């Protein structure tokens, strides 16, 4: 298990390093969007490639940073229900959710995403819009994003099993404690009404 925890630590470090750098592309997308809007209004001209670049940059952040979101426990879940459950039940739900839902989803997306990208790359697929960008780089993001998410999901399972065995502390304990306090406050407020 120690070797798996070391692997998990390396995966986590890579995920955090990648996510922190790619998140800056949101700023780049905003600057491009603002510049494009100014040029369009001031000079009554625009370029489809600049418009498409905005959604490609957003796609990079959304798809390639999803593993970072999972690492930091910021993914979507029903927090009020989750916080009301005992810690061992939450751990089991996390392991089952990762093993039977997240990992299979990422595998299916990879199995379908690789041919999706390869077909586009082989024909050098271009945008249907005049002056648009090539499509295959954007289509590669599906494949890359789900590969990163798969690797991070494996890391999360390793850590959760280690937490359940008492080998490591829960890295998200402070988040969970704060959420439990908030849920408790909400329940008290509802009961008073």
**Which structural domain range is residue 164 located in?**
2-192
Rg from Cα positions in the chain: 21
Q: Say whether pLDDT at 76 is over 90.
A: no
CA distance to 58, 101, 185, per residue, from 182 (Å)? 32, 28, 5
Q: Say whether pLDDT at 78 is over 90.
A: no
Contact 98, 160 (CB under 8 A): yes
Q: pLDDT digit string (tens) for 124-154? A: 999 988 888 999 999 999 999 999 999 999 9
Please provide residue 7's backbone torsions phi and psi, each rounded to the nearest 5 degrees.
-60, -45
Q: Say whether pLDDT at 180 is over 70.
A: no
Q: Which among 138, 108, 111 is positioned nearest to 125, based on CA atoms?
A: 138
Q: pLDDT digit string (tens) for 14-41? A: 999 999 999 999 999 999 999 999 998 9
Q: Say whether pLDDT at 5 is over 80.
A: yes
> How many domains are contained in the chain?
1
Q: What is the spatial distance between Cα 6 and Cα 60, in angstroms, rounded to a whole number?
A: 28
Q: Say whether pLDDT at 55 is over 70.
A: yes
Q: What is the spatial distance between Cα 16 and Cα 63, in angstroms, rounded to a whole number?
A: 14
Please provide residue 134's backbone torsions phi and psi, each rounded to the nearest 5 degrees.
-60, 145
């Amino acid at each position: 298990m120690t070797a798996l925890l070391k692997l998990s630590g390396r995966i986590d470090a890579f995920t955090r390093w990648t996510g922190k750098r790619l998140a800056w592309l949101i700023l780049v997308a905003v600057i491009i969007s603002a510049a494009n809007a100014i040029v369009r209004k001031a000079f009554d001209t625009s370029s489809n490639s600049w418009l498409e670049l905005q959604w490609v940059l957003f796609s990079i952040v959304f798809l390639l940073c999803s593993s970072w979101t999972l690492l930091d426990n910021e993914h979507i879940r029903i927090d009020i229900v989750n916080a009301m459950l005992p810690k061992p039940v939450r751990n089991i739900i996390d392991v089952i959710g990762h093993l039977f839902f997240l990992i299979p989803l990422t595998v299916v997306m990879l199995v379908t995403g690789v041919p999706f990208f390869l077909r586009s790359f082989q024909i050098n697929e271009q945008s249907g819009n005049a002056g648009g960008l090539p499509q295959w780089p954007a289509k590669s993001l599906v494949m890359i994003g789900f590969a990163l998410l798969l690797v991070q999901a494996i890391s999360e399972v390793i850590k959760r099993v280690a937490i359940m065995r008492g080998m490591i502390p829960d890295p998200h304990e402070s988040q969970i404690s704060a959420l439990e306090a908030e849920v408790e406050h909400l329940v008290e407020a509802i009961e008073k009404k």
